[in-house]
């Protein structure tokens, strides 16, 4: 099992550009989520999904879109990159048991710089 | 806003000593989880404690949960230099389907 795979690992964007961060998991987890982590801070939830075709907003959703067409994939789209979106982005997945979350498995992160 | 708040923000100890980190949260929870993050890496799950549990052990880790005080503690016994990392608590509320993280404690274990 590869677990949770994020691509790319590093990315530099110019202000106004758009891009998609990829996330895939091979554990058949229902729940997937995206977080951003800024220096010296914890993780803030951007968007999450409780299953294919279902997504919802987290704490900091502005400027980001997600979709969940399959159980395995949960891409995060930056619509028009801004310097404030410079951060490390983590994708995570977990099981849901009736319907609460259990342990989350994290990808290795994407370090994004917007200039 | 963050659901969990860790205390202290930073902790520096000698190898062999015990490390205690605390987490407070605001709303009723279904479970509370602790994670570790080595510098520049993803988070790794350490332990999960449910709201009806008071204490849980895993190897050198001991977690307690006091739902009346809305707080939890993580104890690492006989710490090692390899335990140097950031430690985060995260909560799953009784309502909703979010895993919400605190800001973390940076632990440094000096050899």
Is 70 exceeded by the pLDDT of residue B99? yes
Distance CA B5, CA B88 (A): 9
Distance CA A5, CA A68 (A): 16
- CA A98 to chain B, closest CA, distance in angstroms equals 11
Per-residue confidence (pLDDT) for residue A111, from 0 to 100:
96
Place of tokens 């983590």: A90
Question: Cβ contacts (< 8 Å) between A100 and chain B: which residues?
Answer: 30-31, 92, 97
List Cβ neighbours of B79 (8 Å cut-off, separation of 6 or more).
Answer: B13, B15, B16, B17, B18, B19, B60, B107, B109
- CA A111 to chain B, closest CA, distance in angstroms equals 9
Q: Do A42 and B88 touch (CB under 8 A)?
A: yes
Question: Cβ contacts (< 8 Å) between B2 and chain A: which residues?
Answer: 42, 44
The string of pLDDT tens digits covering residues B14-68 is: 999 999 999 999 989 999 999 999 988 899 999 999 999 999 999 999 999 999 9
Per-residue confidence (pLDDT) for residue B1, from 0 to 100:
42
Nearest to B103 among A31, A41, A102 (CB): A41
Q: Could you tell me the pLDDT band of residue A97, with boundaries at 50, 70 and 90?
A: low
The string of pLDDT tens digits covering residues A9-23 is: 999 999 999 999 999
Q: Do B99 and A41 touch (CB under 8 A)?
A: no
- pLDDT, average across residues B91-101: 84
The residue of chain B with its CA nearest to that of A98 is B97
**What number of C-beta contacts closer than 8 Å exist between A and B?**
67
**What is the token pair recorded at A33?**
């989520």
The residue of B21, B43, B56, B103 whose CB has the most chain A CBs within 10 angstroms, and thus the best one to mutate to test that interface, is B43
Is 90 exceeded by the pLDDT of residue A42? no
């Amino acid at each position: 099992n590869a677990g949770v795979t994020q691509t790319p690992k590093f990315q530099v964007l110019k202000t106004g550009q758009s891009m998609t961060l990829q996330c895939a998991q091979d554990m058949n987890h229902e729940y997937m989520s995206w977080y951003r982590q800024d220096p010296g801070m914890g993780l803030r939830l951007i968007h999450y999904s409780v299953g294919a075709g279902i997504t919802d907003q987290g704490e900091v959703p502005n400027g980001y879109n997600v979709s969940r067409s399959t159980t395995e994939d949960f891409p995060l789209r930056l619509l028009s990159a801004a310097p404030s979106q410079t951060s490390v982005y983590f994708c995570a997945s977990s099981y849901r048991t009736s319907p609460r979350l259990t342990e989350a498995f994290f990808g290795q992160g994407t370090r994004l710089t917007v200039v | 806003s963050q659901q969990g708040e860790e205390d202290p923000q930073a902790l520096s100890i000698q190898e062999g000593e015990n490390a205690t980190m605390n987490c407070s949260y605001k709303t009723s929870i279904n479970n509370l989880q602790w994670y570790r993050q080595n510098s520049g890496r993803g988070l790794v799950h350490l332990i999960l404690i449910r709201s009806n549990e008071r204490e849980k052990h895993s190897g050198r880790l001991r977690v307690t949960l006091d739902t009346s005080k809305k707080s939890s503690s993580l104890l690492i016994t006989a710490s090692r230099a390899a335990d140097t990392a950031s430690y985060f608590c995260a909560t799953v509320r009784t309502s909703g389907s979010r895993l919400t993280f605190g800001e973390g404690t940076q632990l440094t274990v000096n050899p």
